[in-house]
Amino acid sequence: MLRNHKKIPEPTIERLPLYSRPLEELLKAEVPVVSSDTLAKLCGVNPAQVRKDLAYFGEFGVRGVGYEVASLLKEIKKILGTDRKWRLCLVGFGNLGSALFENHNFRRRGYTFVAVFDSDPAKIGRILENGIVVEHPKKIKEAVPRLHIQIGVIATPPFKAQRVAEMLFSAGVRAVLNFAPIQIRKPECCVVENVDFTISLENLAYHLAKLH
């Protein structure tokens, strides 16, 4: 039973996928029940944090016993919206874009690319392995409603990313995963997740430097 989502801290939401991964492996191994201590160790957090995070959404576990793996995984997927299929488009088919498109882990988790856009004339018209034809970004407005695209993935150079995002928002896309190293501005009705690999590398460099 989901409680008032407005009061749920963002870090709690971000940790839910962290909990789902080991639960999936436990389910495959036919482990019926997992304790908060064990789940915490598998996720690299403390048991109290696990219990606190899950308590925002209801009572899932049995004191002294633990959580039923299949039931907890099902509830987490329902909360995250990963219990359904999502249709994605990719804008930018360079090295990063093609790597994202060819990553089969997206499809296994219910995220399917149904359109690819790129402004490079050498790439426009290229037929990809699943039959998708690379199109010019000017086709975004027509393709989004026709293909029922729900999430846009941006893998363009940074100077193109904001314009591309605006095209996606204007076409009706309300969620964008941005891999360009720039912070996307968005309207209130939309959500953006910015993924900048260099920030993660700089965090690593900082901690590594402290070891010396």
Cβ neighbours of residue 51 closer than 8 Å, sequence gap 6 or more: 36, 61
Could you confirm whether domain 86-199 is CATH 3.30.530.20?
no
5-80 and 86-199 share one CATH topology? no
Q: How confident is the model at residue 180 (pLDDT cuts 50, 70, 90)?
A: very high
Mean pLDDT of the chain: 91
User: What would the CATH number be for the domain defined by 5-80?
Assistant: 1.10.10.10
Q: What pTM does this model have? A: 0.83
* Per-residue pLDDT tens digits for 92-117: 999 999 999 999 889 888 999 999 99
Q: Cα separations (Å) of 156 from 8, 99, 141?
A: 33, 13, 18
Q: From the centroid of its chain, how far is CA 95?
A: 20
Q: From the centroid of its chain, how far is CA 67?
A: 25
**Domain-by-domain residue ranges, the chain?**
5-80, 86-199
* Per-residue pLDDT tens digits for 18-68: 999 999 999 999 999 999 999 999 999 999 999 899 888 877 766 767 899
Q: Nearest-CA neighbor of 168 among 156, 176, 160?
A: 176
Alpha carbon distance 204, 198 (integer Å): 10
Q: How confident is the model at residue 210 (pLDDT cuts 50, 70, 90)?
A: confident
Mean pLDDT of 193-212: 88
Cβ neighbours of residue 39 closer than 8 Å, sequence gap 6 or more: 19, 22, 23, 47, 50, 67
Q: 65 or 173: whose pLDDT is higher? A: 173
Question: In 3-state terms, what secondary structure has residue 147?
Answer: helix
